Structure formats: C-alpha cells, structure tokens
Chain A
Amino acid sequence: MSEARDDILGRVRGALGRDPATVAARRQALTASLASPNCGPRPQPVGDLVQRFAERSRSMSSTIDTLATTNEVPAAVARYLADGALGSTAVCWPSLAALDWAGAGLEVAARAATGQDLVGITGVFCAIAETGTLMLLSGPETAATTSLLPETHIAVVPAARVVADMEAAFALLRAEHGSLPRAVNFVSGPSRTGDIEQTIVLGAHGPYRVHLLIVSGD
C-alpha cells in the first residue's frame, strides 16, 4: 500500500505548508544534523561513579557484591545461590565460560537460556551510574534471553565499564561498535508490575532477582 504512504506524506506536507522545492535540501540538512547530536540537560554525576551506580542499583531492588578480580566470580555466585537456596546450575554467556565454575561446585553451561533455566549469568556492555542501569547488547556471544527468561539474573560488572549517564553509554557504543546491534537492553533491577491495585510486585515476566557482581580489578 504505497498509496497509503504517499497519501500520509502528502497530507503531512500539505498541513505543514511544505514547499516541494525545498524538500531535498531540508531533508539533507536534517540528516546531516544527526551526525552531531546535542545532549540535553542532564545531571552529569561526577566523582565515585561506581559507588553511585551501586547505590542506584540497590534503590532499583538489585543486590550487590563487590569483588577484586574476575576469578572470584564463581565463588561469589556459588555463595549467592546457596544463600538464596537457588540451586547450583546456571547458563552463562560464552565470554564467561572459561571461569572455574566446577571448582566452585556449580554446573554452568555456556549457551542461550531456555524457558527451563533458572539462573542466567551475563556480562554487560557498560553500566550507568545516573540510574543504576545495565546496558546489554544482543549478539552471537551475548544472548538476550540469558538476562530475561531465568528467575535469577546475575551480571558481572567491571568497575571500569561504569559510565556517568545514558549519553556517555551511547558515545561508548558508537566508538566501539559504530552501529547498534539488533537489541540494546537497558536493565534496571528485577522486572516488576503495579497493575493490581498499584501494589509493586517483583518478578512479573522477567527475573525476580538481579544480583550484580562489581569487579574492581581484572
């Protein structure tokens, strides 16, 4: 129905009083303006961004553990799962497959999550201090389901990847990837709903729990 397209655009141009002679030049100017985006008013947190990220994450109902190195991750996961009686099996992103999970008594498969998996372990692209938000990119090695289908989502957050705000996160994304992956997911705490009598309940369709392991060193 390209007829509908022409009709709608025609109506819009008519209502805006667009002069047909200016369309091409104006469109080009707008397209060019996309290359130098302006940031709007923003608080721009400074100082200890990792601490702010942790505080904000807690206020979004995430829980937090701070580790010195990535090697401590399996033991920290084992501790967290044991404390919550959440079992000892999980799925993880392939980038985390090399960690010594078995050594911590865990059975962790490096694959995308299915509806049956109860614990999903991911990394992050970066994390946002202003709001306590994880930024996850979809991709061959970074399944989107791992942070979505399981009842518990555990994310490994390198302290060096904490940025001030969403604008900084987008700048990092452009610098490191150029274009956007199929899905960019910003996650701020466990899923929730307030639909029944405006009472907040955690674990609507996504995870009931989001646990963050902030790793300060390598």
Chain B
Amino acid sequence: MRQQSMHFAARVGDRLADVKLQANLKKAKGKFVDMRAAAVREFDADAAACAAAAGRDDAVTFAALRDAGAAIRSKVIDDLDLWLEIFEAKAKASGATVLWARNGEEVCAHTIEIARRHGISKAIKSKSMLSEEADLNAALSAAGVQPVETDLGEYILQIAGNEPPSHIIAPVIHKTLDEVADLFAREHGKPRKTDIPALTREAREALRAHFLSAGMGISGGNFLIAETGGVALVTNEGNGRMVTTLPNVHVVITGIEKILPTLEDLATLLRLLPRSATGQTISNYVSLLTGTKGAADPDGPEHLYFILVDNGRSSLLEDDFRAMLRCIRCGACMNHCPVYQTIGGHAYGWVYPGPMGSVLTPLFTGIERALDLPQASTLCNQCGSVCPVKIPLPQLLRTLRERQVTRQLRPRSERFGLKVWAWLAQRPALYARAASYFARYLGWLAGGEDRIRVFALAPQWTAGRDLPAPQGKTFRERWAAERGR
C-alpha cells in the first residue's frame, strides 16, 4: 500500500470535513468499547464463580490474563531467532515449505513463484494485513493471478476499487449500508437491497463460486505454534476455513514475530484476543493448520507454504521499541483512541491506523516519512490500559517524539521555541518573571472572560477550540504567598 502518512494533517482536515464519514464514525464509536468492557466484566465474574464453586480463593482475573499474555509474547521476542528456527524445523517436518521474505517485494515474488509452479490463475484470500503491507493483490493481478478477498469487509473494499481498510479487524467501518447496497447492485447486477442479511447472502453466493474454483488459498496467521510447526487462524465468517480447506495450495503470509511456543500459550492468548477485539468470548472459528493433506484425507491442501516476513520487524528489536512486537493485532487500541474515533483509519495513511499504527508506521517505513503520527495522540493512555499484551503505547509514542527532536526532524519554529523554553527553564528567577508576564498577557487577551477565543501567537490552535484563560495568580506566586504565611 502506498504510504501517505506524511500528508497526515491534510488528510485529517479532509476527514473532519467529510460529513458522511463523521456520521459513520459516530455510529461505530463506543460499540467495540462497550462490548470489550462487558466481556472483561463477564470474564472476571465467571472466573470468580468457577473458583468459588471449586472452593478456591485464587480466582483468576482479566488483569492476570493480560500479564500472562504479555509475558508469553515477551518470552518469544527475547529469543526470537531461536523460536523461528524451532518453528521452521517443526513446520518442515510436518510437510510444509518455509520461505523467508525481507520485504514486500520478496513476499510478492515468492507468492507469484508458487502460483506459477502450481499453474494457479485464481487465489482466494482470507484477511492478511501483511498482504496489504506488500501490496500483494496488485502484484498478483499483474502476474495474471486473480486475487479474491473473501472476508466480507475486505471483499467490499476490493469491489469498491481496491480501497484500503480503515480498521484492522473491521475494515469497512467507514462505509454505510447505503454505500454497500450501491456497490453490490453495481457489482452483482442484481436488484439493489438494503437488508443486511440479504446483502450478506448475496456476497456469500458470489464468493462461494470462488471458494469452490480457486487453486490457491492465501491467509495471514494470527499465531505460529513452535511446538507443532502450524498456524492458528481466528475468524468469525468461516472464510479462513474455506481458504485453508478447499484449494490445493495454501500459502500463509505472516510476520516473523507471530510465534507462540505451545498450544497452552495459544489457549491463553485466545482468552485475550476475541474479548479485546470484538468483546466475544471466543471467535466462531479457530483453526490450527499443521502440515498437508494425508493420502486418505478427503480434503485439505496438498501443498502448504509459510512465508515468514521481516519487512521492518527486526528493526523493532532494539530495546526502546521491542515491546511493540508483542502486538497481536486485536484493534483495541484504535477502538479506544479518541483521535482514531474522530478521524477514522484512512487519515493515518498506511496499513495500520490508531495508536499501534502511529508506532508501527514510522518504525516500518521511516521516522521521517510519518512525522505527524507520533504527535497524533493525546497520550491519554486509553490504548495502553486496554492492550491485551500491555504494550506501553504512549511511552513508545513519546520515545518517537524524542527521536524526531534529536534527529532534528521537527520544524524550525518548534525547535527554536523549545530552545528558548529550555534556556528559560534553567534560570528559575527569570522563568518565574516570564511566566507571570505571560499569565498577565493571557488574562489581558481574555478581556475579563474565562476563555481566549483567538490566540494571536498560535491562531491555528484556537481555530477549533477556546484556550482557557489563566485565573488569578501563577503557581509560583501562590506558592511564595503560601510559604510566607
């Protein structure tokens, strides 16, 4: 996907002015938040009831589950090279082929080569964010392989002219029913309908034909299991099962960080993922796919390929950002982010939106190519407090801001302002005097009201809000008076 994050400010302006998008965002806002909160409450209540019934006083909690999830993911990342080797050996022993890709181009090259080898003309895809990173659909089409997205949301985006997703688990959260109805009427050549179950059935029928005729299935992977050399796929629609059951070739495209050591670790992460993502106790389908079709098996692919992708991930292993590799792509951070809720996913300009995207995009594509993203946060820590693997997202965003400053990537006026402030801050007496003049200036600007409507030094700042006027004396003045008493 072409990276547009450097145009963040302009894109945000467009999104805020987009009446339809704002209405859609308002409709979606809060739904995932409420559902997650209910799921967490229910887990804690259920765990307490189970413990009481067994006469135990050590009931587990969702908080303990998050600790455990974070610990498992950290354990993997801290020995990632070895877990990759262990996974690779097990996968090979089970009959799969393991390929490695340093970047998106290599992902495309591998996939096209596999398609050629097996004479494939159509590939059905279950949702894979990595294929968005690699721009795989365009590459497949150019190579004469028709890619068909089968997740309902991704399918809608594909027939809308290959629109990018705006959310990692609810890719068409920005579209209304009316827009989908128009698209379907155009694409399927059937009478326009606005009944959601009827639309879903129409897509089901259109995609069923593809499921039954495609020679290759492409999926992402929620987790790779080192113990078994297989992949775990979590879906609600069942398209993940179709893609990995019907075609003769299955290609799994996944990041190198997705490993879990054991099936027990998977069980722990599966208690976290659906609750954090959609508030479900469990997703409808969880599939563990290990090796290829046995001689007497009636179904399943004869060929299984894993493409393990770096594409910037190994650069996150440095200490400051290592925690980010724990991410299990649940989407909770964006669901809870006030900035995401207001601007939607497309404004972020690349594959991953919201707080996790604001960390990943600059690290994957270059800090200088996404200067606004780490600033696009109030650092309120809603994201950090819901992340199932306890990634300290605000801290990572702050570290990225620091990098921008030390690498001199901030605008000159900001750098100058900071220098002035630092100079003043090292001179307490002067600082106190300056602060009291400034407070008086602000009070004068407010002209007796409790707010400033136009702030002459930074008029942009007051374009969409008022600046509260300082009330009474400065903190230092009050402190001095307090001590003098």
Contacts and interface: CB of A to CB of B under 8 A. Distances in A.
Interface of A: 1-2, 4-5, 7-9, 11-13, 15-16, 18, 23, 26-27, 30-31, 33-34, 37-47, 56, 59-60, 111-112, 115, 131, 133, 138-140, 143-145, 148, 165-167, 170, 179-199, 201, 203-207
Nearest to B56: A44
Nearest to B203: A204
A43 B60 contact: yes
Contact of A182 (B150, B268, B282, B291): B291
Given A143-B299, A179-B290, A198-B31, 4 more contacts: A8-B84, A43-B50, A115-B208, A195-B151
Given A27-B86, A140-B294, A184 B287 contact: yes
A165 B300 CA distance: 27
B108 to A, nearest CB: 13
- Going nearest first, the 4 A-B pairs with the smallest beta carbon separation are A206-B238, A40-B268, A15-B317, A204-B237
Contacts, number: 273
B80 interface: yes
A181 B284 CA distance: 20
Contacts of B102: 4, 7-8
A95 to B, nearest CB: 13
Contacts of A12: 80-81, 84, 256, 314, 317
Contacts of B207: 205
Contacts of A30: 79, 82-83, 86, 261
Contacts of B197: 201, 203
Bin the interface of chain B by size. Answer: 35 or more
B267 A206 contact: no
B85 interface: yes
Contacts of A187: 284-285
B284 A15 contact: no
Contacts of B21: none
Nearest to A26: B82
B82 A37 contact: no
Contact of A188 (B204, B263, B282, B292): B282
Interface stretch (B165-173, B377-385, B457-465): B165-173
B201 interface: yes
Instruction: Find the residue from A1, A23, A43, A189 having the highest chain B CB count within 10 A.
Output: A43
Contacts of A144: 241, 245, 299-300
A209 to B, nearest CB: 13
Interface in B55-78: 59-61, 64-65, 68-69, 72, 78
A166 B211 CA distance: 30
A109 to B, nearest CB: 13
B236 A191 contact: yes
A178 B128 CA distance: 31
